[in-house]
Structure 1
Amino acid sequence: MSSSAASRRERFHTEIAKRQGLLVPGAFNAMSARVIEDMGFGAVYLTGAGVTNMSFGLPDLGFIGLTDIAEHTARVRDAVELPLIVDADTGFGNALNVRQAVRTLERAGADAVQIEDQVMPKKCGHFAGKNVISASEMVGKIQAAVDAREDDHFLVIARTDAAAAHGIDEAIERAHRFVEAGADVLFIEAMETLADIERLPGLFEKPLLINIVVGGKTPVQDRDALAAIGYGIVLYANVALQGAVRGMQQAFSVLRERGRMEEDPNLVAPFSERQRLVQKPLFDSLDQRYKADD
């Protein structure tokens, strides 16, 4: 592990522990992660739903595996220096699979990994019909994740979807057990009432992540309000993919109707902006540096 990775993880761990509502957008590939970094956000979340939707054209129903998310993790890490949270779904199997997933994703460049307690194949947290494994099985997965990490500042984020399946009290009980198992951050998915949102941070010593899905089940709240009540992370996992889809639809609509497309900044990023984001000037300078003498 490089000293830069160690210091980045330590700083990220410290930042989350402040419970000041770090605003984290989700990325679905290296370019979306680069835009997140360029816009000045403090961390990036690699979303399994985003990878599934945007790379496979499929719904978030457990279609991706460890190899898929590890490849995307490595690409995002190569593109940005931000702390990187990786969505590892259920850990892709039992506790032994979780162990392998954590080892693989940490080596690929993740700074935190999120594991959930749904049965396989999992579903998007804001879909109906979710089921969860036993709390004791999930405890074993968390313990495996904690034991597998090489860096103590690598964060294990434990997510429970039990609120939808068994009610919020069961989700709270599970979260307490996850803390005892060694989880660094808690994630109670798909809360549906403002009362639950407001009371949860006060129930735990560990910081909480809240996931705001645009159009999903959880009521949208201002980041500052969530920071004031003690959330560590305010996640918008799918804004990038939903924004990208809308942008493509708008641009293609104009192209279809007009039969041509100008460099309209209201519809498409300028050519020069695209080259800036992919660091074309850097590669131009490297090309000159390594150019053979004639």
Structure 2
Amino acid sequence: MRDYDEKRTQFKKLTSGDRILSMVVAPDALAAKVAEKTGFKAIFVAGYATAASTRSLPDRGILDFGEMLSKLREIVATVDIPVFVDGDTGYGDTENVARTVRAYENAGAAGIFLEDQVWPKRCGHMAGKSVVPADELADKIKTAVKARRHSNFTIMSRTDARQMYGLEEAIKRSHQYQDAGADMIFIEAPQSKDELREIANEFPNTPLMANMIEDGATPMTSVDELKSMGYSIAVHPTALTYAHAYADKEFLQELHTVGRTEKTKQHMVTFNDFNDFVGLNDLNTIEQKYSKAPMQDMLNQLKLK
């Protein structure tokens, strides 16, 4: 059985002090495994990528609690690094928030974020968002803190108020969410590097997350620059999903029009590299250890004794 408490503690250490944790959102278990083998220290599970990989639909509040929980379990079972998860609005009232927190915690998540959008929510960089009164998410944060069974299960607040009401309101809400018990702060879609710096200056002693979405509302900023501003997490939520879609399109266009993969093959991993990613060598080792011949040898040795 995996030590989830160890992973939660590990996540806390990765986001503490002057460190910055670079994370990608994994749309599926294979992407999570490749990210781990590439050197990433934690994985993010989020609604945008899950809606695309599971339903081929946009992030518009279509996924339900069960689908997100299933994706979380899939990825936690695949990697040996901490997994942080998108909790959306908690999928209902405070009772549902408590259920979500306990279920995600039991599934092995290192932490969760909860947001103040009106359900059905949408991607934080899409137009047309709306938010609930700040007291509503503050109550959900309090509920989440009370519901968690391990103090090192990280609870992050997310506000989407910047788009509708400006940065000042988003910062004000985040202070309220912090007072309600949030361990980390996430203000979605700041619209300039100056706004990123202003957020960091407002929360100098609080772990902060920044969201780097290609073609999104926030200017793309390097991990090192975000670290210098004071951020603890830099997450790329769409990169793998967009890369997958691009690769699929390029490959399928060639296969459909040419009938073979001569051009796109140079951009694929090799047969052996892929087998390494999915752990074939480890499985072969187990198979050899417990195959019929070795087991018979062990039985014969027992008889001799």
User: What's the TM-score bracket when you normalise by the shorter of the two chains?
Assistant: over 0.9
Q: Which residue of 2 aligns with 1:92?
A: 91
What code does the residue aligned with 1:98 have? V
> In the aligned structure 1, how far is the partner of 2:69 from the partner of 2:129?
25
Q: Which residue of 2 aligns with 1:208?
A: 208
Q: Which residue of 2 aligns with 1:107?
A: 106
What code does the residue aligned with 1:274 have? F
Cα deviation 1:18-52 (Å, max 9, x = unaligned): 24321111101111111110110111101211010
Q: Are the equivalent residues in 2 in contact too, given 1:19–1:233 (CA < 8 A)?
A: no
Q: CA deviation at 1:133?
A: 0.8
> Structure 1 length as normaliser, TM-score?
0.95
> In the aligned structure 2, how far is the partner of 1:156 from the partner of 1:19?
20
Q: Which residue of 1 aligns with 2:249?
A: 249
User: Which SS does the other structure have where 1:55 is aligned?
Assistant: helix
- Choose between structure 1 and 2 for higher RCO, CA contacts under 8 A separated by at least 6 residues: 1
Q: Are the equivalent residues in 2 in contact too, given 1:264–1:270 (CA < 8 A)?
A: no
User: Which SS does the other structure have where 1:244 is aligned?
Assistant: helix
- Tell whether 2:145 aligns with 1:146: yes
> Structure 2 length as normaliser, TM-score?
0.92
**Rg comparison, structure with higher value:** 2
User: Which SS does the other structure have where 1:17 is aligned?
Assistant: coil
Q: Are the equivalent residues in 2 in contact too, given 1:142–1:178 (CA < 8 A)?
A: yes
In structure 1, stretches of 5+ residues that fail to align are: none
Q: Which residue of 1 aligns with 2:299?
A: none
What code does the residue aligned with 2:31 have? S
Q: CA deviation at 1:66?
A: 1.3
In structure 2, stretches of 5+ residues that fail to align are: 297-305
What code does the residue aligned with 1:56 have? R
Q: Which residue of 2 aligns with 1:261?
A: 261
Q: Which residue of 1 aligns with 2:39?
A: 40
User: Which SS does the other structure have where 1:119 is aligned?
Assistant: coil
Superposition pairs of residues 124-273 of structure 1, within 5 angstroms: 124-204=123-203, 205-262=205-262, 265-273=265-273
Q: CA deviation at 1:265?
A: 4.9
Q: Are the equivalent residues in 2 in contact too, given 1:88–1:101 (CA < 8 A)?
A: yes
Structure 1, 259-268 or 152-161: larger mean CA deviation: 259-268
> In the aligned structure 2, how far is the partner of 1:172 from the partner of 1:8?
30
Q: CA deviation at 1:99?
A: 0.6
> In the aligned structure 2, how far is the partner of 1:225 from the partner of 1:264?
34
> In the aligned structure 1, how far is the partner of 2:168 from the partner of 2:85?
27
Q: Which residue of 1 aligns with 2:118?
A: 119
What code does the residue aligned with 1:283 have? L
Q: CA RMSD in A?
A: 1.6
> In the aligned structure 1, how far is the partner of 2:73 from the partner of 2:210?
25
Q: CA deviation at 1:266?
A: 2.9
Count of aligned residue pairs for this structure pair: 293
